[in-house]
Amino acid sequence: MEDAKASRFGVLKEDELTSQLTATKKQRDATEHQIEVNRSVVTSATTVPGLGEALETKNSQLELVLNQLENDVRDLEDRLKALHAFAEGTTGLFTDGLENLAAAMAEAVALLKQLAPGSPGAGHGASAERMSALGFLAGLESSKNWTSATPAELLSLLKAVSPSQLNMMLTAHPELLQRFWDHPPAPENTAAWWKKLDATQRAEWAKAVPKLVGNLDGVPPRVRSDANRACLVTDLAEAKKCLKNAKADPELISPFEGVHRLALNRLAEAQKLADTLSRINKAYGAGPAGNPPHELYVYQPGEHIKVAISTGLLETAEHISVLVPGMGTTADDIGQYGVAAKDVRQQQWRASGVDPSKIAVLSWLDYDPPGSLDVWGGLHDDLAKAGGERLGNTLRGLTAVKDWPANAAGLSVVAHSYGTDVATLALAREGVSAGHVVLLGSAGISGSIPSAATLHVPGGEVYAAQGVRDEWAGLGQFGSGRIDPTSSGFGAHPFSAESSRLDGQALKGITKHGPFGDGSKDSGSYSYLDNLTSAQYSTAMATMGHGQEVPVGGTPLDRWTVPQPQPGPFPTPFGSGR
């Protein structure tokens, strides 16, 4: 039946199909013409040695392309035929059907409202099931614009529907999941909702909507990690399958430049996605069972993949540090930040004596920073404000699931470059706080935060460092007009990023903005998050409650008095994770 054929093809758009058919026929005709030309040359007299064999080989390749094009033409013609037949048999059906569906839904919603508790028609028959159905039907209304849903509306939705119903809603409204990711319910309210669920209900939610549960601040870390891991495994398998298909695409050998270029682009995109997901998978390693253990706290696929992986278990940690990266960082950098997290955690143990099992460092690549060459974005606060909202929700979520008070001594933020703008904007938001914050190689703090006292951090627990050989921090501050947090007027505790000794250890000075050096041993290239630099060890002390033991230094005046080194190679953009 033609109707069944239309259903098999899915949604068909006549204009697009017609354009594709026209273009494919032109490619087919041109290929046939080229084959005929080649044959005529082969059969004619020629004095060029090997030309005939070469053309015959080329024709063999073109025949493969021609067969594929013929199949494509037949497929497109079938689709158009099915579409026309389907349209003839259903004229007016969908318009009437949608109107009837909307009317039926409206009547059902009205009836359920009458049966809701407190309404005149409620009686003893009103139930939680009816309220759930009411929320579900209301959510499926085609007129609802979920792109503008408020956090309170999203929380009400969680409470009103079942996991399977929300799964259906997310399928019908893809924008709803993005709204949950970008503007979620208040983490404290989500944590309270989750705690009221029993074990069976929690398992149902995690299974039905893992992309939501895995990224919902206020849900316990291990639940999030397991849900995100399941999604990553599925996505990685699909990405590898797409890459395999892209490598086998016959259009890669198309004689037409445009077709060939599009096939190469598809291959490059498939390769990039598979590589990125493989890096995330490698950084996750053996997960909670690894040494050190890891949890996939954030995993949001899309055009700009967002990810956060902890080194150490968040649910058992008594000390959690959140690493906030700067300009140019992408999900591809998660491995490098994972190494940095492991090293910071090791030095935190050394600086405090706290058992490493009680320490976790979260590599938080969960916002869209300016790109490496996006100078305009780096000098303005728009992306930092959006990132600050996301970071604020992360900090509130951790505080809620840990049952910590405001300004919890166990919660720290360590930010680099543009990330210092993100971190301070987050910590100035209502309800967001931490016990310590460390600002490394800052590209400047927003003018809306005139001093450290503006932040919801205990007095004396805001730290800042900038190395003499940091080639980009000062430029970022100057170009943006933002504040240098090491300046005396800001009121932070500044410390040196130069070579020094702390706790009897010889520590290296930073030689570039970084946050990483070039990675080779004994290269002399170091940055703030490299192991056993003065900046890294001082950060470890500050985040473990020993920051007041770090000598004050590294102010702008102090940096002027340090002998200037010979200029190095031309620097990379400030804040770049590479």
> Domain with 381 in it: what CATH number?
3.40.50.1820
For 272-318, where are the E strands, in sequence order? 294-300, 306-311
**Total domains in the fold of the chain:** 3
For tokens 């904007």, what's the residue?
Answer: 425
Q: Is the pLDDT of residue 480 over 70?
A: yes
CA dist list (Å): 406 to 216, 321, 430, 435, 454:
20, 15, 11, 8, 15
Separation of alpha carbons 543 and 558, rounded Å = 24
66 and 157 inside one domain: no
Distance CA 483, CA 445 (A): 5
Confidence at 29, pLDDT banded by 50, 70, 90? confident
pLDDT at res. 117: 53
- Point out the domain boundary residue: 89, 115, 140: 89
Q: What is the mean pLDDT of residues 339-364?
A: 97
Taking the CB of residue 342, how many other CB atoms lie within 10 A of it? 16
Residue scoring higher pLDDT (45 or 43) = 43
Decide if 568 is inside a domain: no
| Cα dihedral 492/493/496/497 (nearest 10) | -60
Direct distance between the N- and C-terminal alpha carbons of the chain, in angstroms, rounded to an integer: 57
* Packing angle, helices 151-160 and 187-196, rounded to 10: 10
Taking each helix axis from N to C end, the angle separating 382-402 and 418-427, rounded to the nearest 10 degrees, works out to: 50
Name the pLDDT band for 564 (thresholds 50, 70, 90).
low
**Which residue shows structure tokens 């549960």?**
213
pLDDT at 86: 58
Q: Same structural domain for residues 72 and 151? A: no
Q: Is the pLDDT of residue 577 over 60?
A: no
Out of 211, 233, 255, a domain closes at 233
pLDDT of residue 125: 46
Specify whether 110 is located in the same domain as 79: no
Angle between helices 221-247 and 257-284 (to 10 degrees): 150
520 phi and psi angles, rounded to 5 deg? -85, 145
Number of H helices, E strands in the chain: 20, 10
What pLDDT is attached to residue 87? 61
By percentage, how much of the chain surpasses pLDDT 90? 65
pLDDT score recorded for residue 77 = 80
Range with lowest mean pLDDT among 254-258, 324-328, 479-483, 536-540:
254-258
How confident is the model over 294-351, as pLDDT tens digits?
999 999 999 999 999 999 999 999 999 999 999 999 999 999 999 999 999 999 999 9
Q: What's the confidence (pLDDT) of residue 209?
A: 97
Q: Which of 60-74, 454-468, 509-523 has the highest mean pLDDT?
A: 454-468
Q: Is the pLDDT of residue 468 over 90?
A: yes
Which residue shows structure tokens 């990379």?
A: 572
| pLDDT beyond 70 at 536 | yes
Q: What is the mean pLDDT of residues 15-37?
A: 80
Can you tell me the mean pLDDT for 471-478? 93
Task: Give the C-alpha distances (Å, rounded to integers) separating 563 from 52, 487, 553, 558.
Answer: 73, 20, 15, 10
Q: Given a cut of 80, is residue 107 above it in pLDDT?
A: no
39 falls within a domain: yes
In this structure, the answer to whether residues 84 and 114 fall within a common structural domain is no
Overall average pLDDT of the 493-514 stretch = 94
Q: State the DSSP code for 219.
A: B
Last residue of a domain, one of 213, 233, 253: 233
For residue 238, what is the enclosing H or E element?
helix 221-247
Structure tokens at 51: 């030309």
Cα separation, 255 vs 61, in Å, equals: 9
Q: What whole-number distance in Å separates Cα of residue 298 and Cα of residue 228?
A: 7
pLDDT band at residue 35 using 50, 70 and 90 as cut-offs: confident
Average pLDDT over residues 170-197: 95
Tabulate helix, strand, coil % of the chain (nearest 5).
55, 10, 35
Average pLDDT over every residue of 162-170: 92
Residues 82-97, mean pLDDT to the nearest whole number: 55
- In a domain? residue 544: yes
Q: What are the backbone angles phi and psi of residue 70, rounded to the nearest 5°?
A: -60, -40
444-456 mean pLDDT = 97
Q: Would you give the DSSP letter of residue 307?
A: E
**What is the model's pLDDT at position 97?**
45
pLDDT of 16 reads: 72
**Measured CA distances, 368 to 211, 331, 332, 388 (Å):** 19, 10, 13, 11
Write down the pLDDT at residue 575: 44
Does any domain span residue 352?
yes
- Residue 191's pLDDT is 98
* Range 484-514 burial, b when 16+ CB lie within 10 A, else e: bbbbeebbbbbbbbbebebeeeebbbbbbbb
The DSSP call for residue 251 is: G
Question: How high is the mean pLDDT of the chain?
Answer: 86
- Residues 337 and 85: their CA atoms lie apart, in Å, by 57
* Amino acid making up residue 104: A
**Measured distance CA(275)–CA(305) in Å, rounded:** 12
Among 4-8, 201-205, 332-336, 479-483, the minimum mean pLDDT is found in 4-8
Nearest Cα to Cα of residue 358 among 413, 322, 315, 420: 315
Residues 85 and 167 occupy one common structural domain: no
Residue 527 has pLDDT above 50, yes or no: yes
- The rounded distance, in Å, linking the Cα atoms of 204 and 202 is 5
Pair 46, 164 in one domain: no
Residue 265 counted as domain residue: no
Give the least confident one: 1-15, 126-140, 448-462.
1-15
Backbone angles phi, psi at 300, to 5 degrees: -125, 100
Residue 51 has pLDDT above 90, yes or no: no
Could you tell me if 347 and 219 lie in one domain? Answer: no
> Does 124 have pLDDT greater than 60?
no
- Res. 106: pLDDT tops 90: no
Give which of 291, 287, 289, 290 is closest to 299, Cα–Cα: 287
Phi and psi at residue 106, in whole multiples of 5°? -60, -40
pLDDT at 443 over 70: yes
Are 385 and 427 part of one and the same domain?
Answer: yes
pLDDT band at 65 (very low <50, low <70, confident <90, very high): confident
Indicate if 116 and 80 belong to the same structural domain: no
Query: Which residues are registered as beta bridge partners of 416?
Result: 440
Average pLDDT over residues 143-162: 89
What residues make up the domain containing 110? 95-233
- Contacts of 202-206 with C-beta under 8 Å, sequence gap 24+, read 204/162, 204/163, 204/164, 205/163
> Tokens 């409620």 appear where?
122
Same domain, 106 and 161: yes
Domain membership flag for residue 384: yes
> In Å, how far from its chain's centre is CA 161?
27
112-126, 183-197, 205-219, 258-272: least confidently modelled range: 112-126
Question: Which residue carries 């240098």 as its tokens?
Answer: 484
Task: Give the max Cα distance, the chain.
Answer: 99
> What is the rounded distance in angstroms from the CA atom of residue 90 to the CA atom of residue 2?
12
Is residue 360 within a helix (H) or strand (E), and if so which, with residue range? strand 359-365
217 vs 12, more confident: 217
**Neighbouring C-alpha atoms within 13 Å toward the C-beta of 30:** 11
Residues 351-374, mean pLDDT to the nearest whole number: 96
Give the span between the Cα atoms of 482 and 104, in whole angstroms: 57
Among 142-156, 310-324, 339-353, 437-451, whose mean pLDDT is lowest? 142-156
Confidence of residue 46 (pLDDT cuts 50, 70, 90): low
Residues 186 and 130 in one domain: yes
pLDDT of res. 574: 44
**Which tokens go with 396?**
């509130």
Which pair of tokens denotes residue 574? 């400030």
Q: Are residues 83 and 125 in the same domain?
A: no
Q: Classify residue 308 by its DSSP letter.
A: E
In this structure, is residue 466 part of a structural domain?
yes
* Phi, psi for residue 49 in degrees, rounded to 5: -60, 135
Q: Answer whether residue 112 shows pLDDT above 90.
A: no
On whether residue 248 sits in a domain, the answer given is no
Q: How confident is the model at residue 88 (pLDDT cuts 50, 70, 90)?
A: low
Lowest mean pLDDT among 93-97, 119-123, 234-238, 422-426: 93-97
